[in-house]
């Protein structure tokens, strides 16, 4: 959570910091702040709320100087107040620091420092780091940072400046992401590439334990014992347009409509005509593929929903039992021996703390770990033994959309890949891949339902609750539809297996309860129709997501939207589209901030 930025060079720092913070605002928007070094001292500006507020403040009270650091906050320790907003300073006001992460031993350190006379002004865990640096005796800022971080337990990406060392920024990471953008006699700091891409495409991803020292003249990286570390310079491979809204009112809308293209990008160069898929990044030998006896899928939120679909698909294609776990639960479970297991960590951001720790726990239990990740160079991608990149470009809207459909595609390809090294017949695999290849155009057709979805949204927008029901491979789609609705419209929604409704939730049904059935043409369609009748009999307001040419339920339901016909295994890739659009339009009608829903942030890098 939180975004950190920084700049050192010869330009005015504040506009560059603001631009980076705007790009990172999806990571948290409880408060924003910058500190700029003007050669004499440090000038700090902070506001509660959005980066736009900070922009206004800086236009009234400029902060001039050619190096600085900034922060956009998702509050963990301490309320979202101005005093708790980063940057934080030490007792003298000559050291300033921004932090993304959580310091687990903050209370102990705080008591220790207070006993030594340090005066704390905030409720944050972060403030202990800057007082620790102040308290440390060493020659250079980086030595003091290294010594202070040696006492810290927890996750951090920090950037630190000292009024006594003008034009110098020290950056360090352990467990939270941060990268350095490399320019011509200037350097940029960002929690992810979007913070620096307006200025440079050359980036250095720091590793855990790295301490980077930046001045306009150069940068170097050392470890905690001051040993020099060599880090490669990578290139950002997407364009600035990918992080612009274009003609769309919201990033979520843009990203929903990008799905024909993003789905294509996930498949590109990977589907063979012979029923094989090319997934070199997995780095799995045929022998390994044959040796696995189990698959374990780990993820959170939408990525976990994709995993639930993946379970059904991979079991069918490989015959291997697949277990899907919330990463946050798995990491604290008693670990069974996993030496025969392929663990698959799914994460759009590649930075979700629970998923990262769960995959490490799976590895410790003996599993071979691969990632299905979107963000190139992210921690999960680098920590995994191999993986599949989604290649959907940056997903900026907090509600995940295009990553979800591509995660399903990646899981399908993984299933075929493993299956072909086992018993999956060439014809069966080839037929599935051939159909998968047509998906982008079917998604495009499904998106044409938008005007109808918008009209339905108007009739559901005032409801306080909603139920989403589905079966089989479309039960996770019901979960996903409900999650989309609650996170951006604040309507309470539940996703359930359709048949479970009669075991309790049916008591909720009355004429005010919208019920969305995901009921494409498949082997359980008739069963779902029976569930629809049960809701109808109790007066619920029903929307059905069905299949073109598969019977018209309009005589018994209030609304029906039909997606193109495809094989049942692929149907979630289409049935989820109207649900994404429904949540989007309901949220817009309710006046919600679609791209920045309250209390949320795009990547959850804390437990
Ligand atoms: O980046 P990840 O895929 O690991 O993120 C997991 C969840 O935090 C994420 O899917 C979250 O549930 C989204 N807000 C859902 O739209």
In the prediction, which pLDDT does 550 show? Answer: 87
Active-site residue set: 2, 602
| Residue spans of beta strands (DSSP E) within 520-573 | 541-547, 559-563
Q: Report which DSSP code applies to 300.
A: -
CA distance 532 to 534: 5
Q: 341 CB under 6 A from ligand 1?
A: no
Query: Which residues neighbour 307 within 8 Å (Cβ) at sequence distance 6 or greater?
Result: 297, 298, 299, 324, 344, 346, 407, 411
**What tens digit of pLDDT does each residue of 318-329 get?**
999 999 999 999
Ligand 1 binding pocket mutation candidate from 604, 605, 606, 607 (most atoms within 8 A of CB): 604
Minimal-distance CA residue to ligand 1 atom 12: 301
The structure tokens listed for 248 are 């769309």
The structure tokens listed for 533 are 């009748």
In the prediction, which pLDDT does 335 show? Answer: 86
CA distance 46 to 256: 34
The structure tokens listed for 489 are 């419209």
CA distance 527 to 575: 18
Q: 176 CB under 6 A from ligand 1?
A: no
In the prediction, which pLDDT does 33 show? Answer: 98
Parallel, antiparallel, or unpaired for β 187-190 and 3-8? antiparallel
Residue with structure tokens 């003249």?
A: 217
| DSSP element (H, E) containing 468 | strand 465-470
Q: 597 CB under 6 A from ligand 1?
A: no
The whole-model pTM stands at: 0.87
Ligand 1 atom showing the smallest separation from residue 302 Cα: 10
In the prediction, which pLDDT does 409 show? Answer: 98
The structure tokens listed for 556 are 């018994």
Ligand 1 atom showing the smallest separation from residue 484 Cα: 16
Q: Report which DSSP code applies to 64.
A: -
Q: In the chain, what are the helix, strand and coil shares in percent, each to the nearest 5?
A: 40, 25, 40
User: Count of CB atoms within 10 A of residue 452's CB?
Assistant: 15
Name the residue among 372, 370, 441, 377 with its Cα closest to residue 409.
372
User: Count of CB atoms within 10 A of residue 489's CB?
Assistant: 27
Are 35 and 44 in contact, with CB atoms under 8 Å apart?
A: yes
Q: What order of strands is seen across the sheet that includes strand 95-103?
A: 88-89, 95-103, 154-162, 169-174, 211-215, 218-222, 228-229
The structure tokens listed for 253 are 């809308």
Query: Which residues neighbour 218 within 8 Å (Cβ) at sequence distance 6 or greater?
Result: none
Residue 371 CA from chain centroid, whole number: 14
Distance (angstroms) between ligand 1 centre and the Cα of 129 equals 29
Tell whether omega for the bond before 87 is within 30 degrees of 0, i.e. cis.
Answer: yes
CA distance 441 to 446: 9
Ligand 1 binding pocket mutation candidate from 345, 400, 477 (most atoms within 8 A of CB): 400
Q: 302 CB under 6 A from ligand 1?
A: yes
CA distance 468 to 484: 11
Ligand 1 atom showing the smallest separation from residue 352 Cα: 4
Based on C-alpha coordinates, what's the Rg of the chain? 25
One DSSP character per residue, 369-423 reads EEEEESSTT-HHHHHSSEEEE-------SSS--HHHHHHHHHHHHHHHHHHHTTT
Name the residue among 420, 417, 364 with its Cα closest to residue 387.
417
Are 468 and 479 in contact, with CB atoms under 8 Å apart?
A: yes
Are 192 and 206 in contact, with CB atoms under 8 Å apart?
A: no
In the prediction, which pLDDT does 265 show? Answer: 96
Q: 400 CB under 6 A from ligand 1?
A: yes
In the prediction, which pLDDT does 219 show? Answer: 97
CA distance 414 to 52: 43
Minimal-distance CA residue to ligand 1 atom 8: 301
Q: What order of strands is seen across the sheet that includes strand 202-205?
A: 42-48, 31-37, 67-73, 3-8, 187-190, 179-182, 202-205, 234-235
Q: 603 CB under 6 A from ligand 1?
A: yes
**What tens digit of pLDDT does each residue of 460-514 get?**
999 999 999 999 999 999 999 999 999 999 999 999 999 998 898 888 998 889 9
Query: Which residues neighbour 508 within 8 Å (Cβ) at sequence distance 6 or greater?
Result: 465, 467
| DSSP element (H, E) containing 587 | helix 572-589
Q: 265 CB under 6 A from ligand 1?
A: no
Dihedral sign, CA of 161, 162, 166, 170?
negative
CA distance 279 to 316: 19
Q: For the stretch 379-412, what's the b/e string if a residue is b when 16 or more beta carbons lie within 10 angstroms of its beta carbon?
A: bbbebbbbbbbbbbbbbbbbbbbbbbbbbbbbbb
CA distance 79 to 544: 42
Minimal-distance CA residue to ligand 1 atom 4: 347
Q: 399 CB under 6 A from ligand 1?
A: yes
Q: For the stretch 179-205, what's the b/e string if a residue is b when 16 or more beta carbons lie within 10 angstroms of its beta carbon?
A: bbbbbeebbbbbbbbbbbbebbbebbb
In the prediction, which pLDDT does 523 show? Answer: 92
In the prediction, which pLDDT does 536 show? Answer: 92
In the prediction, which pLDDT does 602 show? Answer: 77
Residues of the chain short of pLDDT 70, as ranges, are none
Name the residue among 347, 402, 374 with its Cα closest to residue 584.
402
Distance (angstroms) between ligand 1 centre and the Cα of 86 equals 25
Name the residue among 60, 33, 57 with its Cα closest to residue 44.
33
Residues β-bridged to residue 541: 514
Q: Report which DSSP code applies to 564.
A: P
CA distance 224 to 150: 8
CA distance 76 to 595: 20
């Amino acid at each position: 959570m939180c975004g950190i930025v920084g700049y050192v060079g010869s330009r005015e720092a504040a506009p560059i910091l603001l631009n980076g913070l705007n790009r990172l605002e999806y990571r948290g928007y409880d408060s924003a702040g910058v500190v700029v070094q003007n050669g004499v001292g440090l000038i700090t500006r902070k506001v509660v709320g959005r980066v736009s507020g900070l922009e206004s403040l800086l236009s009234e009270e400029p902060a001039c100087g050619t190096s600085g650091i900034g922060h956009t906050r998702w509050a963990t320790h301490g309320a979202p107040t101005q005093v708790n907003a980063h940057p934080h300073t030490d007792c003298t006001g000559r050291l300033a620091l921004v932090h993304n992460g959580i310091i687990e031993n903050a209370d102990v350190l705080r008591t220790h420092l207070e006993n030594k006379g340090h005066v704390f002004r905030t409720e944050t865990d972060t403030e202990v780091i800057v007082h620790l640096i102040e308290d440390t005796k060493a020659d250079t800022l980086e030595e003091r940072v290294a010594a202070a971080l040696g006492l810290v337990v927890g996750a951090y990406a920090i950037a630190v400046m000292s009024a006594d060392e003008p034009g110098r920024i020290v950056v360090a990471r352990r467990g939270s992401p941060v990268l350095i953008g490399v320019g011509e006699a200037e350097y940029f700091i960002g929690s992810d590439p979007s913070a620096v891409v307006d200025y440079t495409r050359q980036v250095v991803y720091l590793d855990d334990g790295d301490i980077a020292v930046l001045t306009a003249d150069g940068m170097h990286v050392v470890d905690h014992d001051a040993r020099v570390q060599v880090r490669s310079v990578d290139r950002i491979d997407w364009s600035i347009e990918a992080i612009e809204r274009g003609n769309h009112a919201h990033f979520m809308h843009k990203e929903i409509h990008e799905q024909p293209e993003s789905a294509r990008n996930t498949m590109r160069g990977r589907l063979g005509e012979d029923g094989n898929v090319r997934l070199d990044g997995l780095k799995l030998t045929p022998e390994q593929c044959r040796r696995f006896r189990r698959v374990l899928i780990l993820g959170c939120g939408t990525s976990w929903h994709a995993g639930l679909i993946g379970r059904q698909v991979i079991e069918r294609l490989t015959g291997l039992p697949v277990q899907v776990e919330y990463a946050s639960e798995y990491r604290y479970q008693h670990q069974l021996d996993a030496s025969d297991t392929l663990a698959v960590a799914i994460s759009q951001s590649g930075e979700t703390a629970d998923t990262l720790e769960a995959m490490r726990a799976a590895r410790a239990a003996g599993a071979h770990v691969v990632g299905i990740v979107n963000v190139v160079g992210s921690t999960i991608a680098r920590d995994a033994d191999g993986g599949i990149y989604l290649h959907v470009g940056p997903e900026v809207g907090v509600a995940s959309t295009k990553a979800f459909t591509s995660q399903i595609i990646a899981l399908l390809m993984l299933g075929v890949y493993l299956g072909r090294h086992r018993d999956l017949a060439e014809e069966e695999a080839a037929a599935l891949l051939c159909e998968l290849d047509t998906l982008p155009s079917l998604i495009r057709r499904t998106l044409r339902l938008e005007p109808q979805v918008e009209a339905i949204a108007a009739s559901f927008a005032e409801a306080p609750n909603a139920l989403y029901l589905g079966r089989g491979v479309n039960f996770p789609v019901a979960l996903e539809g409900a999650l989309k609705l609650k996170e951006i419209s604040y309507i309470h929604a539940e996703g359930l297996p359709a048949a479970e409704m009669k075991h309790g939730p049916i008591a909720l049904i009355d004429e005010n309860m919208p019920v969305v059935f995901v009921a494409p043409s498949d082997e359980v369609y008739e069963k779902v129709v029976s569930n629809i009748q049960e809701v109808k009999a109790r007066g619920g307001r029903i929307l059905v997501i069905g299949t073109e040419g598969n019977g018209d339920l309009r005589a018994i339901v209030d609304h029906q939207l039909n997606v193109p016909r495809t094989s049942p295994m692929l149907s979630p890739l289409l049935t989820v589209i109207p649900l994404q659009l429904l949540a989007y339009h309901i949220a817009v009608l309710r006046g919600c901030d679609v791209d920045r829903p309250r209390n949320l942030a795009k990547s959850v890098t804390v437990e």
